[in-house]
Chains A and B, each alone.
Chain A
Amino acid sequence: MITTSSKLFYGLGAVSIAGSIVWIIAHDGGALGAVALVFIAIALIFLGGIASYVRDGHVLSTDTEQHDSAPAAQRGPSHSWFPLGTALALGMLVVGLVTSPGIFKVGVALLLAMLGEWLIQNWSDRASSDPSYNERVRGWVVHPLEIPVGGALLLGAIVLSFSRIFLALSVEAGPIVFAILGALVLFFGSMLSIRRGTSTRVVGAVCGVALLALSVVGVALALNGEREGLTIAAEEDHFAHRACGEEAEESDEDAVRAVSAKSSVAATVTLKDGVLYAEMDGYSGPLTSISLQRAWNSSILFLNEDEGEHRMVVTYGKVVESLGGGVERETLLQACTSLVAKGGQQGVVVNIPKPSISSTEGFSITVPGLEGASIEVMVP
């Protein structure tokens, strides 16, 4: 006998088998996912078999008189909004196919979720003639998924909204707004907690309004864009500092406060009394010539012990581009720190793909504006 719950398991098992076939076709014979899906199918069909064997725990197979009147045989009474969700998901799927892979992927995820929910709703509605019991049955199956996924989505919306707000606010305004928001949350939270008998509806309404406001502001500021400084930094590729000259530029602001990767540096380069020297693990004494591995992320730390602001520039060859008509443009390959004040430090990470013999000038570490402050860089 195929019972109500066993239908679910058999159905899912069949879907898994179909999925494994689709996987094999889609992955050009790749078996890993198919094997996983087949194992899932075996497990589901096994569970279905058990459900059939125990007749869902409701009616004995020998008690045929009870079959038609058994709770599991009754039609479910509840209304469902999952068809609506499924329609929305299908719409996103189609729109995503035309516009963006992101929307398509969200549509696929939503479609699977809606179909799964719909399937389980339909099944649980037939679990018994008692709607409250059916609701509990549904909860047993889907709550372990619904609650964490819903919580994660909610948390994601809050975090995303907060991040958009603070990326749009100025550096000065950010802490003030954060403090005010925190104080408001603390105030309302305290009010609600000390006041006896506050209904859950009121708490829910306050939270809902707060979440809605947060989301609306977040979306509005996301559409408005990030603050100017971040936009400029993004254009400069954040960590790839473009300014390599002697003069200060936009990205040299707050150089000393910039984060330096100090863990396991390949070389520490120090400028002192107009002289540049390097120290490296495994070598004794100050070096005026260093060796860096080819095609390796070398982290170089620059310490400015000299008067004034200086930057370190690593030069490792040049790129020659043909602009057509016999015209060529040479661009130096360089990695530079920001301007660093006395006592400050900053690191650069440089990956040098070619050996130093590829450059007639050789590779070097220099400080713009200081003649003679130079370290030879050898890349084998």
Chain B
Amino acid sequence: MKKMIDQFGESMKTARRWRNASKAAIAVSALSFVASCGRDAPQDTWQPAGPNAERIDNLQRPVFYVAGVVGVIVFAAVAWSMYRYRDRGQAIPEQTHGKPAVEIVLTVIPVLILLGVAIPTASTIFKLAETSDTEMTINVTGQQWWWEYDYPAVGSNIEQYGITAPIVTAGQLVIPENTKVLLRVTSRDVIHSYWIPKLNGKKDSVPGRVHLLRMEGSKPGIYAGQCTEFCGLSHAYMRMEAVVLSRADYDKWVANQLEEYTVPEIGTDAAAGESVFIQQCSRCHQVNGLKNSDGSLNIAAPEQNLVSGAAPNLTNLMTRNTFAGASWDLLTPECRDNVWNASSADFGERYLAGVSTECLNQKDLREWLRNAPAKKPMYADPTKLASTGGLYRGMPDLGLTEDQINVIVAYLLERK
């Protein structure tokens, strides 16, 4: 009787364990399924928006399906074997060794599968590395923790796109649609990695080296990305966006970037902001055309203040939608949605409108100006810069007063 009760108790325990395991498996599966239904996924690798990303997609989908089927078969076989041959006190079965037919089959099948994957993979790699048909070239330089884009006034950039003087911008890469753009990716400090998932794969940016990455967008819009090589304290805040414009809109963007500097009207907040900017900000930030009070050209000296030797060029800040390494929007949420959710036909006009007074995200920009390191960690404690020779890795707290912030915001609003 006691034995029967013990056996019953054991079988109940086993059943309970199975039920718990089943619940956990269902919960994990449901969570995975729900996660796959996410719509607002700007960095989704399964939604290519350009020929390079499509090539990757065309490769990864069949590989994923094959790997999925193989995975299911292997897991099912393991689970069945574990259940079928579980320890029930039976004798250990006869151990056999050496079955040439089985070994050959189990070797040949994976070889064929891997060959089937390797051939299209190699082909895709070579196609992605193609650069001979480049139509436009842009330098992309990573540093802690933002990306700089400079459009050289060289070769086809001048002849076909009217870039007659270098254009320097940050955070948002702007390219014309259906154009084979070649990015020359490098770094000023540590290794970063450039990745706009909807437009192409990743490319490491390595100090002292130039890596080439083809970028092409099929339709106007904004495509988000993220640095994918851990690069220090604010790696998570090192984002990037690629903006694809129609050719006509792109020409407008180029023309706007090349426009002469406009001096703020005397007596305005913007004019006062220009003075504060020269005193406080132009030590690192370049604004092309800005002049000192003596009439000489104002040239920033980031090499004297920053490890990377560079800070974002703010000449046309308000033509961008983001700041601080694309970590925060310059637009309010409503205005941002208005741009991001625009149709292809409307997108260019809305993007080129830039940031207006009504649409400026005052809260984040002011917080940034008030104390940047409090918003984005950047080793900005001046007492702990011995290892860098007193150089910062990012923007320090400048100790600006509220009045200074007000006039700087007014000045920056005119930078477009």
| Chain A residues within CB distance 8 Å of chain B | 263-264, 266, 281-285, 287, 289-291, 293-297, 299, 351, 353-355, 357-358, 378-380
Contact of B302 among A263, A289, A295 (CB under 8 A): A295
24 residue pairs of the A-B complex, CB under 8 angstroms, read A281-B131, A283-B154, A284-B132, A287-B154, A287-B155, A289-B153, A289-B154, A291-B153, A291-B166, A293-B139, A293-B150, A295-B303, A295-B310, A296-B186, A296-B188, A351-B309, A353-B309, A354-B301, A355-B299, A357-B288, A378-B166, A380-B151, A380-B167, A380-B168
A355-B153 Cα distance, complex, nearest whole Å: 14
| Chain B residues within CB distance 8 Å of chain A | 131-132, 134, 137, 139, 141, 148, 150-156, 166-168, 182, 184, 186, 188, 207-210, 212, 286, 288, 297, 299, 301-303, 308-310, 313
- Beta-carbon contact of B184 and A281 below 8 Å: yes
A107-B152 Cα distance, complex, nearest whole Å: 56
Which residues of chain B are near A282, meaning CB under 8 Å?
131, 134, 137, 182, 184, 210, 212
A264-B208 Cα distance, complex, nearest whole Å: 7
A283-B131 Cα distance, complex, nearest whole Å: 9
Within the complex, the shortest CB–CB distance from B216 to chain A, in Å, comes to 15
Within the complex, the shortest CB–CB distance from B166 to chain A, in Å, comes to 4
Assuming the contacts A290-B154, A378-B153, A378-B166, asked whether A295 and B209 have C-beta atoms less than 8 A apart, the reply is: no
A295-B299 Cα distance, complex, nearest whole Å: 14
Which residues of chain A are near B210, meaning CB under 8 Å?
264, 266, 281-282
Task: Other than A291-B150, A295-B188, give 11 A-B pairs with Cβ distance below 8 A.
Answer: A283-B137, A283-B155, A284-B132, A284-B156, A295-B302, A297-B208, A354-B301, A355-B166, A357-B297, A380-B167, A380-B313
A357-B139 Cα distance, complex, nearest whole Å: 18
Within the complex, the shortest CB–CB distance from B44 to chain A, in Å, comes to 29
Within the complex, the shortest CB–CB distance from B307 to chain A, in Å, comes to 10
Which residues of chain B are near A378, meaning CB under 8 Å?
152-154, 166
The closest CB in chain B to the CB of A288 belongs to: B154
A289-B212 Cα distance, complex, nearest whole Å: 20
Which residues of chain A are near B151, meaning CB under 8 Å?
380
Nearest 4 Cβ contacts at the A-B interface: A295-B309, A291-B152, A380-B166, A353-B303
A378-B154 Cα distance, complex, nearest whole Å: 9
A353-B304 Cα distance, complex, nearest whole Å: 9
Within the complex, the shortest CB–CB distance from B15 to chain A, in Å, comes to 42
Which residues of chain A are near B212, meaning CB under 8 Å?
281-282
Within the complex, the shortest CB–CB distance from A322 to chain B, in Å, comes to 16
Assuming the contacts A266-B210, A283-B155, A380-B152, asked whether A293 and B186 have C-beta atoms less than 8 A apart, the reply is: yes
- Beta-carbon contact of A380 and B150 below 8 Å: yes
A213-B311 Cα distance, complex, nearest whole Å: 57
- Beta-carbon contact of B310 and A284 below 8 Å: no
The closest CB in chain B to the CB of A380 belongs to: B166
A296-B185 Cα distance, complex, nearest whole Å: 12
The closest CB in chain A to the CB of B311 belongs to: A295
A266-B185 Cα distance, complex, nearest whole Å: 11
Within the complex, the shortest CB–CB distance from A5 to chain B, in Å, comes to 41
- Beta-carbon contact of B150 and A299 below 8 Å: no
Which residues of chain A are near B154, meaning CB under 8 Å?
283, 287, 289-291, 378
Within the complex, the shortest CB–CB distance from A299 to chain B, in Å, comes to 7
Max chain A C-beta neighbours (<10 A), residue from B156, B184, B302: B184
A293-B149 Cα distance, complex, nearest whole Å: 10
Assuming the contacts A282-B137, A380-B168, asked whether A294 and B299 have C-beta atoms less than 8 A apart, the reply is: no
Within the complex, the shortest CB–CB distance from B302 to chain A, in Å, comes to 7
Within the complex, the shortest CB–CB distance from A35 to chain B, in Å, comes to 19
- Beta-carbon contact of B141 and A293 below 8 Å: yes
Max chain B C-beta neighbours (<10 A), residue from A263, A266, A282, A284: A282
Which residues of chain B are near A353, meaning CB under 8 Å?
301-303, 309
Which residues of chain B are near A266, meaning CB under 8 Å?
210
The closest CB in chain A to the CB of B150 belongs to: A380
Which residues of chain A are near B207, meaning CB under 8 Å?
297
Within the complex, the shortest CB–CB distance from B186 to chain A, in Å, comes to 7
A172-B212 Cα distance, complex, nearest whole Å: 45
Which residues of chain A are near B137, meaning CB under 8 Å?
282-283
A294-B148 Cα distance, complex, nearest whole Å: 10
The closest CB in chain A to the CB of B133 belongs to: A284
Within the complex, the shortest CB–CB distance from A193 to chain B, in Å, comes to 48
Which residues of chain A are near B309, meaning CB under 8 Å?
294-296, 351, 353
A175-B167 Cα distance, complex, nearest whole Å: 55
The closest CB in chain B to the CB of A289 belongs to: B154
Within the complex, the shortest CB–CB distance from A84 to chain B, in Å, comes to 37
The closest CB in chain B to the CB of A267 belongs to: B210
A316-B310 Cα distance, complex, nearest whole Å: 17
Within the complex, the shortest CB–CB distance from B298 to chain A, in Å, comes to 10
Within the complex, the shortest CB–CB distance from A127 to chain B, in Å, comes to 45
A291-B301 Cα distance, complex, nearest whole Å: 19
Which residues of chain B are near A357, meaning CB under 8 Å?
288, 297, 299
Which residues of chain B are near A263, meaning CB under 8 Å?
209
Which residues of chain B are near A354, meaning CB under 8 Å?
299, 301, 303
A223-B200 Cα distance, complex, nearest whole Å: 60
Which residues of chain A are near B188, meaning CB under 8 Å?
293, 295-296
Within the complex, the shortest CB–CB distance from B210 to chain A, in Å, comes to 6
Max chain B C-beta neighbours (<10 A), residue from A289, A296, A353: A296
Contact of A294 among B132, B182, B208, B310 (CB under 8 A): B310
A351-B153 Cα distance, complex, nearest whole Å: 20
Within the complex, the shortest CB–CB distance from B226 to chain A, in Å, comes to 22
Which residues of chain A are near B308, meaning CB under 8 Å?
295
- Beta-carbon contact of A358 and B150 below 8 Å: no
The closest CB in chain B to the CB of A264 belongs to: B209
Which residues of chain A are near B139, meaning CB under 8 Å?
291, 293
A355-B303 Cα distance, complex, nearest whole Å: 12
Which residues of chain B are near A290, meaning CB under 8 Å?
152, 154
Max chain B C-beta neighbours (<10 A), residue from A287, A351, A353, A379: A353
A289-B159 Cα distance, complex, nearest whole Å: 13
- Beta-carbon contact of A355 and B286 below 8 Å: yes
The closest CB in chain A to the CB of B134 belongs to: A282
Contact of A358 among B134, B208, B297 (CB under 8 A): B297
- Beta-carbon contact of B134 and A284 below 8 Å: yes
A38-B137 Cα distance, complex, nearest whole Å: 55
A290-B313 Cα distance, complex, nearest whole Å: 20
Within the complex, the shortest CB–CB distance from A288 to chain B, in Å, comes to 10
- Beta-carbon contact of A296 and B297 below 8 Å: no
Within the complex, the shortest CB–CB distance from B138 to chain A, in Å, comes to 9
